A = this chain, B = another copy of it.
Amino acid sequence: MTISMYNASVPLFNQMLTSLSNILKKAEAHATEKKIDPQALLQARLFPDMFPLNHQVQIAADFAKGVTARLAGTEVPSYEDKEQSFAELQARIAKTLAFIGTFKAEQFKDSEQREIILRPGTPKEQKLQGQVYLLHYGMPQFFFHVTTAYAILRHNGVEIGKRDYMGNY
């Protein structure tokens, strides 16, 4: 009646980041076809104080990278948020997929019990047990940004559907 911490994280990030990449390909093709400035999509937001599409993608990728590395007890690499084009976002996703692809299930041994410290040394420092960190913090955050990226594109008329979001499972 159990599943491994690895199976509950890396393959799921892989599925959703791959689908996010495919969604962004469709968005870029849509912009090209309709002669829309790509920045009109990349900088689109659902509300003025929400993040635009490009940052939603960056954050989704960062949660995949951060959750994976923290559960495996390795250092979280820092990727600068400088992507300003669809091609650069694709490279960010590809780099993230390659990074999480280097991890092996064995590295997640006992990670459900490991103490994860968020924002260490800051006033907002928070300690979570690995299982809570993955299921109750990492997953909701990751899916939030993937879904919001999808929602921004749907709201802007890009013809994508739930099947694109779900990807291969």
Binding site for B on A (CB under 8 A): 1-8, 11-12, 15-16, 46-47, 50, 105, 108-112, 128, 131-132, 134-137, 139-141, 143-144, 147-148, 150-151, 154-155, 157, 162, 165-166, 169
Q: How far is the CB of A136 from chain B (nearest CB, A)?
A: 4
A165 to B155, CA, bound (A): 20
Known: A46-B154, A47-B157, A128-B169. 8 other contacts (CB 8 A): A1-B105, A1-B108, A2-B3, A2-B112, A12-B136, A46-B155, A50-B154, A144-B162
Contact A112 B169 (CB under 8 A): no
Contact A15 B136 (CB under 8 A): yes
Contacts of A15 in B (CB 8 A): 136, 140
A134 to B1, CA, bound (A): 13
Residue of B nearest to A1 (CB): B109
Q: List 9 A-B contacts (CB under 8 A).
A: A1-B109, A8-B8, A8-B135, A12-B135, A15-B140, A140-B143, A140-B166, A140-B169, A143-B144
A83 to B104, CA, bound (A): 46
Q: Which of B1, B110, B134, B147 contacts A144 (CB 8 A)?
A: B147
Q: Which of B6, B46, B135 contacts A1 (CB 8 A)?
A: B6
Contacts of A50 in B (CB 8 A): 154
Q: How far is the CB of A1 from chain B (nearest CB, A)?
A: 4
Contact B169 A1 (CB under 8 A): no
A105 to B2, CA, bound (A): 11
Residue of A15, A109, A111, A169 ringed by the most chain B CB atoms within 10 A: A169
